[in-house]
Amino acid sequence: MAAPPREPLVIRSLEFMGGMATAAGWRPQGGLPEIAFAGRSNVGKSSLLNRLVHRKKIARVSNTPGRTREINFFKVNDQFVLVDLPGYGYARVSKERHAEWRPLIESYLRDSRDLRGIVQLLDVRHDPTPDDRRMLEFLGDVGVPTIVVLTKTDKLTPTQRANRISALAAELDLDPEQLIAFSAVTGDGRNDLAEAIESLLSQPPWQESR
Ligand code: GDP
């Protein structure tokens, strides 16, 4: 009998390490590789993270009042650190709150020696917002390897989905193969994302090649 296919990124342990609240604030010092997740509020980041790690814990911690504007760090399998960046660009927060995310996220991204890659989330149904574009541009400037994941694909028919993936690939100047289509409802794309993360973790730090 054939062995069952191996699930990429099996989660054996998940531990909340703490939150980074200001640009100069606490951040993990353990030297474990870090993978960060970015996206505008409501893009489906908590749902994606829960699916990825098969736990409810991440969303619970990151959605605790007071933690939603922080960068939250979780140790996975004593192997790497999952970094949940605050959702940006939420229309209902005031202008001042609105601008807060940039210095915090940007200082984390610029100064992280252990950062191995970013998973940038975009809603498959919508064109990137100005905040999304600013974020993607910033990631390009920093030079960090970036995986783009399109969320909520279950909301479209297969034909609509294929059309949107081509349109977004053209828009972002990427090959459609470079985009991961994801649904937190069906679990589609979970293993593709897990494999992409494993691949980032297996590569030498990108900063060394600069
Ligand atoms: P976050 O603000 O980025 O953490 O977004 P959430 O994960 O809280 O999701 C925002 C809303 O979108 C919630 O109502 C979710 O139930 C819904 N949602 C998230 N992911 C999916 C998905 O893959 N499919 C569908 N249909 N709804 C989703």
Strand blocks (E) in the chain: 14-20, 34-38, 71-76, 80-84, 115-123, 146-151, 179-181
Q: Which residue has the higher pLDDT, 101 or 169?
A: 169
Which residues, at least 6 apart from 19, have a Cβ–Cβ distance to it below 8 Å?
Answer: 26, 67, 70, 71, 72, 73
Per-residue tokens: 33: 């590789």
For 133-166, what is each residue's pLDDT tens digit? 999 999 999 999 999 999 999 999 999 999 999 9
Residue 94 is predicted with a pLDDT of 53
Ligand 1 centroid – CA 109 distance (Å): 25
Q: What is the structure's pLDDT at 112?
A: 86
Residue 30 is predicted with a pLDDT of 82
When the pLDDT of each residue in the chain is averaged and rounded to a whole number, the result is 89
Q: What number of other Cβ atoms are within 10 A of residue 57's Cβ?
A: 14
72-118 pLDDT per residue, tens = 999 999 999 999 999 987 655 555 555 667 889 999 998 888 999 99
Atom of ligand 1 nearest to the CA of 39: 3
Q: In this predicted structure, what is the pLDDT of residue 206?
A: 80
Neighbours of 20 (CB within 10 A): 22
**SS3 state at 194:** helix
User: Mutate which of 37, 43, 47 to test ligand 1's pocket (most atoms within 8 Å of Cβ)?
Assistant: 47
Report which protein residue has its CA nearest ligand 1's atom 9.
Answer: 44
CATH homologous superfamily of 14-24+31-203 equals P-loop containing nucleotide triphosphate hydrolases (3.40.50.300)
Task: Residue 27: name the closest of 66, 71, 60 by CA.
Answer: 71
pLDDT of residue 60: 74
Residues having CB within 6 Å of any atom of ligand 1: 39, 41-47, 87, 151-152, 154-155, 183-185
Domain boundaries, the chain: 14-24+31-203
Distance CA 85, CA 108 (A): 9
Question: In degrees to the nearest 10, what's the CA dihedral of 168, 172, 175, 179?
Answer: -60
